[in-house]
Structures are given as C-alpha cells and as structure tokens.
Chains A and B, each alone.
Chain A
Amino acid sequence: MSRRSGTRAPAAAAKTRTKKDANAPTRNGDEARRVGTRGFNRRAKAMKPKQPVQRTRTPGRGLSDFAALLPELDYGRALRRIPRAAWMCALVACLNAVCWSIVAPPFQAPDEPDHFAYVKQLADTGSLPTASQETVPEEFAALQALHVYQVRQRPQTHTISSQQDQENLERVLASTNRASGSHGAGVATSQPPLYYALEAIPYDFANSGSVLDRLQLMRLLSTLFAGLTAMFVFLFVREALPAAPWAWTVGGLAVALAPLLGFMSGAVNPDSLLAAVSAMTFYCFARSFRRGLSTGGAVAIGALTAVGLLTKLNFIGLIPGVLLGLIVLAIREARTSGRSAYRLLGLAVGVAFSPVILYAGINALSGHPTFGIVSTAIQTTHGSVLAQTNYIWQLFLPHLPGTVNDFPGLFTTRQLWFNGYVGLYGWLDTPFPGWVYTVALIPAAAIALLCGRSLFQGRAVLRDRVAELAVYAIIGLGLLVLLGADSFRTFPSTNAEYAQVRYLLPLFALFGAVLALAARGAGRRWGPVAGVLIVVLFLAHDLFSQLQVIARYYG
C-alpha cells in the first residue's frame, strides 16, 4: 500500500508540470526526497513529454548487435535534431579560430613546427616519425627565413617586417628541395597518429604549394575542431543542465569565444581534436546519465575513447573517469535491464581499448616496450609516492602545512593556471601587462560566486546526481594527476613543465557548464542579463587577446 501511494505521488505531480523540465532543481529535490532517488529517477525518465527518447535497448548481443545498429542510424535526422543555437555556437567558434589562424604568425604556436613535421613525414612517406630531432630540411629553411628561432620566446623580437625579408622568404620557399620526411618530429614523435593522419588530407591537398600554403590549410582543418568543441559543449550543457534552455547558449557561446580554444584551434596542434573528442565524450556521458545507457551510447563512448587515445596521449588521464562512468551506467542500467546491461560495459570497453590492445600486441611482438612511451615514462618515474603526490597537489593547489614546498614563492593556482588561462599566447611568451591578471580576478570571482550560488540552490538535485558528478570529477582529476605526474618526471631540473593551461582544454565541457550555472545563479530575473555579460566578457577577452598577439608579433 505504501508503495502504491509512493508511486502515485510523483505521477500526479508530473501531470501538473508537463511544460517544465523533469530535472528542475527545486522540484526535483523535493520529489526525490519524498519517493526516494531510485523511484524518482525511474519516473522522471518516464514522464518526459517534450523530448521523446528513442532508445535501441537491446543489450546482450554485443558486436553483432552493434553491426545491426549501424545501418539503422539516420545521420541526417540526427544532425537535424541538433538545435540551431548549437550550430551557431559551432560557427562562431570556427570563425574565431580562423581569425586566430591569421593573427598568429606561422609556427608561433606551441610545438607547431614539430606537429607540421609529423604530418609531413606521414603524408610524404606513409610512415610515422621515429626520432625526436627536428631536421626536416624544407621546414627548417622556412623557419629560418621566417626568423622563427629569433622570435620564439623573445617577446622583444617581432616577426619579419620588411619587403626584403619577405622576398628572401619567397625565394627560400621556391628554391628549397622538397625532400621527403626526416623521421624526426621533435616532441610530437611520441604522439599517436590520428590527428596527423587527418591533417595529412589538407597537407596533400596543398601539396603543390609552399610550406606556408600547407600550414594554413592544416590550420583551417583544426578550426573545424573548435566548432565541434563548442557544439558539443552546448549539447553537454543541454543534457547536464536541462532546466534553463537559455543557459545552454551562454555555456556554448562563451566556450566558442574562449581565446584559448581559438588560439589552439587556429594552429596545427592535436590539442584541438582532443578538446573536441573530450567534449563529445562528456556529452555522451551526460546523455547516458539522463536517458540511460543504450547500445548506441555504449558504442559511442567506447569509440570516442578509442579516438581520444589515438589523438593524444593526454587522453589517458581521462580513462579512469571514463571507466568509472561506464561501470556506474552499467550498474544503473542493470536495475532495469538485468545483468545483460553488463554486456554493454564489455562492448564499450572492448571498442575503447581495441587500438591499445593492437598497439601493445605489435610492440610486444617487435620487442619494443609494450605501451611505447607510456611504459618508458612509468619506468623513469622517481621519488616516493608521497613526494609525487605532494608535488601533484602543489602543482594545482597551495602547499599544505608540514609538507615540503616544491614551488616556493609561487602560488601555482593563480600564477600558473589562472594567469595562464587569462593570457599566455605564442610560445608562452606573449602575456598581458601584469595589471590585467589582477583585474581578471574580479569577473572570475563573480562567476565563481554565482556558480556556487547556483549549486547551493540546486543542492538537492546534486545529491541525486552524485554518481554522475563523481564521474565528471574523476575524469578531470585523472587529467590533472597525469599532468602533475608527467611534470614530476622532470622535476627538479625543470619545474612545472606541463603546467600549461592548454592541456586543460579536454575539460572545456565542464567549463561551459560552470558558466551556464553562473548565469543561472543570478536568478530567474537577472540570469539572462548575467548570461549576456558573461558572453560579452568572453568576447572582450578574445578580442584583446588577439590584439595582444598582434602587438607582440607585429607592433
């Protein structure tokens, strides 16, 4: 009897709010408390009137099921279901990144010469680079004619600025022997090949042109990844915070205008694709947490994980969170679908790690370290676990009393990460004037306060979604630990080697959600106004960042 009344209460409540979102914070919390989280979640799923969820829930047949699913997917319909605002966010991000690709001089972005060399090697020879030296003759000649080495990390030196330099550059570009790849791609050598294989397409397309023609086309391909990132941040916010549709635009548009995304996606750098793949992964998780794990969802998460691992090694940091997410989703699914839901987990993990297993197998058979550079990196780790943990903590947060201070005189949270986000372009050699970083604390604090207020107001819902939030947190934490552990390998000879905020681009989906929450934190009346101000703030940040880069290289 009591179970019956428990069933009726939320159902009756649902009838009265067909136009409101089932996950609206306050209502949700109240009802969840009344009927219990599990029962509430089941009913919340069942009573979504506005967005009929089409699920192909046939777990249990593994890969054959996946194969049968593929022809059924209507890609055109799926694309049409993406809201227009998401497309607009993508367009804004693309155009902004194209602008950055023009503003940033050729090869004046982190490691761009090495990434170009990787693509050249792959496109010209069909093989991967095997050495870490940077000796591609054609590229080297262009770098010299562009004065890249004199300009890099010397903010007082501008790029070539005379007609004579330009004529010399053109002469060099026209006369340089286009020898094939040199097996050397500097720091990019150890990275997996997916991004570079994609970049080989524009490289080949401009094959008859100069190094600069090929570079510009390759940069344009990267700008598309900025568009994908912004679109999937929008879609992630829509799934994760469905209650206020206007806030989705704030999250998506602010990320589209973020200068860090524009700068990195306006250059040849796998971080651009990594950001897009990560945003897609977050979206798939948010969708699965909201609608349940389907075969398509499991395959998508698995495939995105495989793509991420094939894009950049940094994706390894996201793996613990991805695995946890799949396990949580499978457990939840098993409550309604039985044990067969665990086959979805197996399917996702199988798809995700198939490239890794293949790679490890080839390495094992050819006598190389099983996991390539990852195996080498693990072997070169030094110091105690405690020392490493302490270092990783301090790389992001202030050191704790009683611990050894690895960063004396340095407030890493602010000076490395916050200032790095506010502005550090080029080869980390193009900052704003010092006062800008101080002033930037004001809007940052306002956004943090508003976001905190929003979270406090929705604390009841947070409790209901603690597993989902834990998954996002572990994904983020995994990436931070990876960056810290990798930096610790070169410590103390080099400190904070990977303390570069571009490595946090994979977490931009969470950043978009924070901004959307901040706008909502201003309340129903002032929320949209706060949203507008956040967008204008990001627009201004983007504009002045580009001006700063122009002043540094061409001023």
Chain B
Amino acid sequence: MRAVKTALLAGLALLVIALVLTLLGSPMSVARMNRAPGQSEELVTSTNQSANYCQAHEVLPRGTSAIRIWIDAAAGPRVRVVVSSDGRPIISGERGSGWVGGSVTVPVKPLPRAVSGATVCVSFRLKDETIIVQGEHAPATTAARSGQEALSGRIWIEYLRPGTRSWASLAPEVARHMGFGRAAAGTWIVFLALALLAAVVVLASNLVLRELP
C-alpha cells in the first residue's frame, strides 16, 4: 500500500512538473505567410507521382523554426523542404510520412537571420496516393515550378517561430476564446472544465488507493 501511495504521489508530481514546464513554454506562431488573411485557397496542382516543387521570391523571417506547406493528403508521404538563397541551401528539414489534413508542418533548424529572395523546394515520393497542392493562381513568371514547368499558381507557405509569450501568460486570452461559440457562452465554461478535470484526478487517485494493495 505504501509503495502504491508513493508511486501515485511521484507520478502526480511528475505530471505537475510537466504541466508547469509546458505552460512556461511558448506556442509556435506564424511569423510570416505568403497570402492575405481570409483568402480562400485554390488548386495549384494535384499529383499521384513523386514530385519536387520549387517556389522563388520567398521571404523568411528571422528565427523561422518550422515551415508549413499547404498540401493536402489522406495519409501524407515523407516531405522534405530545402530553402536556398543565391543557389546555396541555407536550411532544410524533413517530416515523416503519416500526416493528414490540408497542410504539413516541417521543422527546420532555426534561421539566425531574415532571408529574402529565397527559393523554397518541397519534395516527396509518392505511389498512388493523391496530393493536392493549394495556394492561389499566379502568372507563370512567379508561379511555383515543377522542374522547368510552371504550375498554375503559388503555393501557400507559412513560416513559424516560437512566440514571445508563454502559454501561462496567454491563459486569460485562451480562456476568453474558449468561451465563444458555445451553447451557453462565457469564460465560466473553462472553470467547469477545470472542475471536471480535478474531479477526474481525485476520483481516479482515490480509486487507485482503495483498490490497489
């Protein structure tokens, strides 16, 4: 019984520490994107073959540590992103296969300085799976390219870096945000969720102490 109590306390203590560390961290935020807010995406191209798309005239902000590409897949393949400036690769990153949804975020080594006029290349190997590349229509001179061939537009790309504020400092805003779009709107719903979570922790701990020898 004593060992059980000790294990439970140690486990809960570790949980609290992990929670505090998480709240002290900063969420990733979009530092720059190559589209206007609120714009609807258009089909740039779709493929079920391996491909390598390159897009010039990109501006990367300082501190970029992840690049989000607007490509859609049901079970996405491994994606590699290489950013070049003046013909030389400056950063690159890879995201393993298995991602889903309308965009893929590829982590990269943080960029020490802002770079303009960069070329971002996205490549993946495919067999059968269909990838939809999204963005907006653009003239051939500025459009993304597949080899020598211009696509029908520019791919939407977002550059992410850690925000300046911690999750803890953002908590009031997040709580206010959670209160919107509800059956009974209001920040009170956050406190209800917290109370429920606390009840879950207390009941589970109590049950463990009662039932485990």
Interface of A with B (CB < 8 Å)?
Answer: 85, 88-89, 91-92, 95-96, 98-99, 102-103, 105-106, 146, 153-156, 158-162, 165-166, 169-170, 209-210, 212-213, 215-216, 245-246, 248-250, 253, 256-257, 405-411, 414-416, 419, 424, 427-429, 431, 434, 491-497, 499, 526, 528-529, 531-533, 535-537, 539-540, 542-544, 546-547, 550-551, 554-555
11 contacts between A and B (CB under 8 A): A85-B210, A96-B196, A103-B178, A153-B101, A165-B181, A248-B211, A249-B212, A257-B200, A415-B98, A536-B7, A554-B174
Query: Which residues of B sit under 8 angstroms from A408, Cβ to Cβ?
Result: 77, 125, 127
Q: Are A555 and B100 in contact (CB under 8 A)?
A: no
Q: Are B178 and A554 in contact (CB under 8 A)?
A: yes
Interface residue B114 (Cβ < 8 Å from any Cβ of A): no
CB-nearest residue of chain A to B193: A102
Q: Are B207 and A89 in contact (CB under 8 A)?
A: yes
CB-nearest residue of chain A to B197: A99
- Give A215 to B74 CA distance when docked, in angstroms: 28
Q: Are B74 and A156 in contact (CB under 8 A)?
A: no
Query: Which residues of A sit under 8 angstroms from B7, Cβ to Cβ?
Result: 529, 532-533, 536
Q: Choose, from B11-19, B51-59, B81-89, B141-149, the stretch at the interface.
A: B11-19
Q: Are A88 and B207 in contact (CB under 8 A)?
A: yes
Q: Are B200 and A246 in contact (CB under 8 A)?
A: no
- Give A535 to B207 CA distance when docked, in angstroms: 11
Interface residue B36 (Cβ < 8 Å from any Cβ of A): no
Q: Are B15 and A540 in contact (CB under 8 A)?
A: yes
Closest 6 CB pairs of A and B: A415-B98, A536-B11, A492-B128, A249-B211, A554-B177, A216-B183
Q: Are B95 and A497 in contact (CB under 8 A)?
A: no
Q: Are A159 and B212 in contact (CB under 8 A)?
A: no
- Give A133 to B212 CA distance when docked, in angstroms: 52
Query: Which residues of A sit under 8 angstroms from B15, Cβ to Cβ?
Result: 536, 539-540, 543
Q: Are B200 and A92 in contact (CB under 8 A)?
A: yes
Q: Are B204 and A92 in contact (CB under 8 A)?
A: yes
| Contacts known (A95-B203, A555-B170); A406 close to B212, Cβ less than 8 A | no
Q: Are A428 and B207 in contact (CB under 8 A)?
A: no
Interface residue B34 (Cβ < 8 Å from any Cβ of A): no
CB-nearest residue of chain A to B192: A102
Interface residue B201 (Cβ < 8 Å from any Cβ of A): yes
- Give A238 to B44 CA distance when docked, in angstroms: 56
- Give A210 to B196 CA distance when docked, in angstroms: 25
Q: Are A539 and B201 in contact (CB under 8 A)?
A: yes
Interface residue B32 (Cβ < 8 Å from any Cβ of A): no
CB-nearest residue of chain B to A89: B207
CB-nearest residue of chain B to A165: B180
Q: Are B22 and A547 in contact (CB under 8 A)?
A: yes
Smallest Cβ distance from A147 to chain B, in angstroms? 8
Query: Which residues of A sit under 8 angstroms from B105, Cβ to Cβ?
Result: 155
Q: Within the complex, which residue of A156, A496, A499, A550 is in contact with B178, where a contact is CB–CB below 8 Å? A: A550
| Contacts known (A165-B180, A547-B22, A554-B174); A529 close to B101, Cβ less than 8 A | no
Query: Which residues of B sit under 8 angstroms from A414, Cβ to Cβ?
Result: 98
Q: For residues 41 through 91 of chain B, which have their beta carbon under 8 Å from a beta carbon of chain A? A: 48, 68, 72, 74-75, 77-78
Interface residue B96 (Cβ < 8 Å from any Cβ of A): yes
| Contacts known (A95-B196, A551-B27); A533 close to B11, Cβ less than 8 A | yes
Q: For residues 81 through 132 of chain B, which have their beta carbon under 8 Å from a beta carbon of chain A? A: 95-103, 105, 107, 125, 127-130
Interface of B with A (CB < 8 Å)?
Answer: 3-4, 7-8, 11-12, 14-15, 18-19, 22, 27, 30, 48, 68, 72, 74-75, 77-78, 95-103, 105, 107, 125, 127-130, 158, 167, 170, 174, 177-178, 180-183, 185, 189, 192-193, 196-197, 199-201, 203-204, 206-208, 210-213
- Give A540 to B212 CA distance when docked, in angstroms: 19
Q: Are B103 and A410 in contact (CB under 8 A)?
A: no
Query: Which residues of B sit under 8 angstroms from A250, Cβ to Cβ?
Result: 212
CB-nearest residue of chain B to A248: B211
Query: Which residues of B sit under 8 angstroms from A249, Cβ to Cβ?
Result: 207-208, 211-212
- Give A65 to B48 CA distance when docked, in angstroms: 60
Q: Within the complex, which residue of B8, B185, B196 is in contact with A99, where a contact is CB–CB below 8 Å? A: B196
Query: Which residues of A sit under 8 angstroms from B211, Cβ to Cβ?
Result: 85, 245-246, 248-249
Smallest Cβ distance from B184 to chain A, in angstroms? 8
Q: Are B213 and A536 in contact (CB under 8 A)?
A: no
- Give A353 to B58 CA distance when docked, in angstroms: 62
Q: Are B107 and A434 in contact (CB under 8 A)?
A: yes
Q: Are A166 and B185 in contact (CB under 8 A)?
A: yes
Q: Are B204 and A539 in contact (CB under 8 A)?
A: yes
Query: Which residues of B sit under 8 angstroms from A431, Cβ to Cβ?
Result: 99
Q: Are B212 and A532 in contact (CB under 8 A)?
A: yes
Query: Which residues of A sit under 8 angstroms from B97, Cβ to Cβ?
Result: 409-411, 415
Q: Are A166 and B22 in contact (CB under 8 A)?
A: no
Q: Are B74 and A496 in contact (CB under 8 A)?
A: yes
Q: A95-B200, A257-B204 are in contact. List 9 more A-B contacts (CB 8 A).
A: A88-B206, A103-B193, A155-B103, A414-B98, A415-B97, A431-B99, A499-B75, A529-B7, A532-B7
Smallest Cβ distance from B163 to chain A, in angstroms? 9
Q: Are B74 and A497 in contact (CB under 8 A)?
A: yes
- Give A542 to B180 CA distance when docked, in angstroms: 23
Query: Which residues of B sit under 8 angstroms from A535, Cβ to Cβ?
Result: 204, 208
Query: Which residues of B sit under 8 angstroms from A99, Cβ to Cβ?
Result: 193, 196-197, 200
Q: Are A253 and B103 in contact (CB under 8 A)?
A: no
Smallest Cβ distance from A211 to chain B, in angstroms? 9
CB-nearest residue of chain A to B41: A154
- Give A405 to B77 CA distance when docked, in angstroms: 14
Q: Are A92 and B207 in contact (CB under 8 A)?
A: yes
- Give A89 to B203 CA distance when docked, in angstroms: 9
CB-nearest residue of chain B to A142: B181
Query: Which residues of A sit under 8 angstroms from B189, Cβ to Cβ?
Result: 102
Q: Are A166 and B180 in contact (CB under 8 A)?
A: yes
Q: Are A213 and B183 in contact (CB under 8 A)?
A: yes
| Contacts known (A99-B196, A536-B12, A543-B19); A253 close to B100, Cβ less than 8 A | no
